Structure 1
Amino acid sequence: MGPKLASLLAVLAAVYLAVAATAVDDAPLPRLPHQDIPAVFAFGDSTLDTGNNNVLPTMVRADHAPYGREFPGGAPTGRFSDGKLLTDYLVEVLGIKELLPAYRSGAANLTVADLSTGVCFASAGSGLDDATATNAGVATFGSQLADFKQLLGKIGARKAGEVVKKSVFLVSAATNDMMMNYYMLPSGRSKYTLEQYHDLLIGNLRSYIQAMYDLGARRMLVAGLPPVGCLPLQLTMAELQQPPRPQGCIAEQNAAAECYNAKLQRMLAEFQAGSPGARAVYADIYSPLKDMVDHPDKYGFVEASKGCCGTGLLEMGPLCTDMVPTCATPSKYMFWDSVHPTQATYRAVAEHFERTNIIRFDN
């Protein structure tokens, strides 16, 4: 075989592998066996927000390029990723619909049928502590619940009664509280010890899921904290405070996340025991994400310590724009920006949820 032919075959092989990888990334996830789940309603922060901040006067927005680069159509939607979020994959896996629309930014165009099969109320930058959302100029958790009450009025009492009790109420919050309001701001640490702040957040969350229960919700899926100490932005902040950049993750912050998650699991068990008909399920996102950091090659990643956007160390939101370069293949990166995962990561988490059966609500 001549050198030119060998080179041509190598190029063709590379193209084939790239196309094959793309096909796998875009392939539909296998659907779970039929479950009587008519809708998913999502509350929390940017890990779930499918575009609600697009209509808010805040800098915490992702309705600009290069966000949405791998999303169907290639346009930014307000999702803090290169493509889909966990919320989108969950409604796909459950066989409800392909994408979970944002309530606020899509309110004018959402039909009763759209509303009845689920929407997202989450707001990027929000948390369980109102101060977190207020500082960021985004929707508090309480205002997200107010939006849900408004939705119930739109679909009508009879329809609401049928839908709400069988729907999944997905919650993911507290990461911003810890990152932005506790670790980053001295005022947070001066007011509370770590344990006290965890207790405050868990107490607030308990009140919020009680409010959902009082409105008819019976199936709650509540995510814990991720390995906060592995987020590229946290590593950058640690380096700025005390060089050099930490090798690996910040052990103290990960230990704190595990402590919070243990308290969350106890609270959910107590809530379920005292709430007739309720299923309050803990969604472990810490374990799969930590495994991706520790074993990126297992998931097809070549980079798990920095994001695809810009340097990957600091850029997110208004700093991640089409003025900065991005990596060639986001699916090879665990993180899209310095905080938020790529579509490939969210897909892997959704697959983890499938394998561990946490999104089965058979009762």
Structure 2
Amino acid sequence: MAARVVVAFAVASAMFVAVSGQKFNAIFSFGDSMSDTGNLCVNGPPAGLTLTQPPYGETFFGHPTGRAVAGATALDAGFFHDRDIPGAGSKGGSDFRRGANMAIIGATTMDSGFFQSLGIGDKIWNNGPLNTQIQWFQQLMPSICGSSCKTYLSKSLFVLGEFGGNDYNAQLFGGYTPEQAAGQSGTIVDGIGKGVEQLIGLGAMYVVVPGVLPVGCFPIYLTLYGTSNAGDYDQYGCLTRFNTLSSRHNSLLQAKVSSLQSKYPWARIMYADFYSHVYDMVKSPSNYGFSTNLRACCGAGGGKYNYQNGARCGMSGAYACSNPSSSLSWDGIHLTEAAYKQIADGWVNGPYCHPPIMS
């Protein structure tokens, strides 16, 4: 993606989320594939990107949209009540005063130099880390709020992430162990904290900061790092070492959010707990209407997880299950629209955002 900025969400003012009875002026989103609505494809789909192929998009839009899901993301499904949120490829007519989405698939917290220093610079394949996304937002600010940005942004909602997942993916897929990757957690969390402070410096007062997911429960990890040792798994079939990495990150991030809240008492900084909610879906899938929890809906190869790197969703030989809403995992890497709807509700109304957005 070039240095051009993304287009705004086309959302009517009546759809704005309220906090303590207050309606937001706008919603601004930053992050990775959990919230990208098409930004990676703004200049045309990158070669080999499978999510530009069916069956992506089939359950909501009827065609691929650049979202890494069969339908809507958590932001689409929860905050905007199933309204279409145009991605960065939309042309003209955008009103940035109502919101904008800077999220891009593959985004990391850290800049490329961090990964080069670890010897894994080749694992980073787009130019949209957190700092760059904030720069894109700053480029939009004149069209959003003119000369009165502090006031306007103080009544807007900022969703900063999920960030961190791809920072760990680069290390793990580059040969690092979960324990080695955990050694970088403090640096990554500090990077997220700096992003929060940058937004507060621009005028933000309401900031949601999501943690990372229990990746040890995801089909891609279960397939690539599976072992014959039952002791490597928890009672629900998830890889313990990888979930320990996620838990360490989230523990540090919660402490960072608490510290920032003390430093900026006039702001409302909210920790969104991706991990606990998704892990509960793994533990009790039927409570959420899921019949499968560790198996990808869309993939190839069958077996316990229905995942193959050489036949991922959107590639030849892969296919989607007949009822994606009955699955927790969409493609082995991302969640289904049904799961995202549950997550959005848990953030807006609690108990998986601390404090809840609507409290």
Alignment TM class, shorter chain as reference: 0.7 to 0.9
TM-score, scaled to structure 1: 0.79
Structure-2 separation of matches of 1:52 and 1:37? 24
Q: 1:320 corresponds to which residue? A: 313
Identity of aligned residues (%): 28
In the TM superposition, residue 63 of structure 1 has moved relative to its aligned partner by 2.6
TM-score, scaled to structure 2: 0.80
Q: 1:149 corresponds to which residue? A: 138
Segments of 5+ residues of structure 2 without an aligned counterpart are 1-14, 116-120
Q: 2:211 corresponds to which residue? A: 224
Q: 2:334 corresponds to which residue? A: 340
2:92 is paired with a residue of what secondary structure? coil
Q: Does 1:63 align with 2:47?
A: no
Structure-2 separation of matches of 1:269 and 1:110? 39
Segments of 5+ residues of structure 1 without an aligned counterpart are 1-28
One-letter amino acid of the counterpart of residue 360, structure 1:
I
Question: Which of the pair has more CA radius of gyration?
Answer: 1
Contact (CA 8 Å) 1:315, 1:337: kept in 2 or not? no
In the TM superposition, residue 163 of structure 1 has moved relative to its aligned partner by 2.9
Q: Does 1:207 align with 2:163?
A: no
Distance 1:317-1:147 versus aligned 2 partners, 3 A rule: farther
Contact (CA 8 Å) 1:124, 1:138: kept in 2 or not? no
In the TM superposition, residue 288 of structure 1 has moved relative to its aligned partner by 1.2
2:52 is paired with a residue of what secondary structure? coil
2:295 is paired with a residue of what secondary structure? strand
**How do residues 1-363 of structure 1 correspond to structure 2 at under 5 angstroms?**
34-55=21-42, 58=46, 59-60=48-49, 62-72=51-61, 74-92=62-80, 98-102=83-87, 104-106=88-90, 108-112=91-95, 115-131=96-112, 135-158=124-147, 160-171=149-160, 172-178=162-168, 180-186=169-175, 188=176, 193-239=180-226, 242-243=227-228, 248-311=237-300, 313-314=306-307, 319-321=312-314, 323=316, 324-353=318-347, 354-356=349-351, 358-360=355-357
Structure-2 separation of matches of 1:317 and 1:124? 20
Count of aligned residue pairs for this structure pair: 320
Distance 1:291-1:216 versus aligned 2 partners, 3 A rule: same
Structure-1 separation of matches of 2:312 and 2:214? 23
Deviations 1:157-195 (A, max 9, x none): 2464443111111121111112x2222212x559x9444
One-letter amino acid of the counterpart of residue 274, structure 2:
I
Q: Give the structure with the higher percent helix.
A: 1
One-letter amino acid of the counterpart of residue 197, structure 2:
Q
In the TM superposition, residue 145 of structure 1 has moved relative to its aligned partner by 0.9
RMSD of aligned alpha carbons:
2.8
Structure-2 separation of matches of 1:46 and 1:61? 13
In the TM superposition, residue 38 of structure 1 has moved relative to its aligned partner by 2.1
In the TM superposition, residue 264 of structure 1 has moved relative to its aligned partner by 0.5
Q: Which moved more, 1:36-45 or 1:222-231?
A: 36-45
One-letter amino acid of the counterpart of residue 323, structure 2:
T
Distance 1:149-1:361 versus aligned 2 partners, 3 A rule: farther
In the TM superposition, residue 144 of structure 1 has moved relative to its aligned partner by 0.9
In the TM superposition, residue 109 of structure 1 has moved relative to its aligned partner by 2.2
Distance 1:319-1:216 versus aligned 2 partners, 3 A rule: same
Structure-2 separation of matches of 1:329 and 1:119? 32
Which consecutive aligned stretches of 4+ in structure 1 deviate over 6 angstroms post-superposition? none
In the TM superposition, residue 34 of structure 1 has moved relative to its aligned partner by 4.2
In the TM superposition, residue 119 of structure 1 has moved relative to its aligned partner by 2.0
Deviations 1:72-97 (A, max 9, x none): 3x11111111111111133226xxx8
Structure-2 separation of matches of 1:290 and 1:85? 18
Structure-2 separation of matches of 1:109 and 1:164? 23
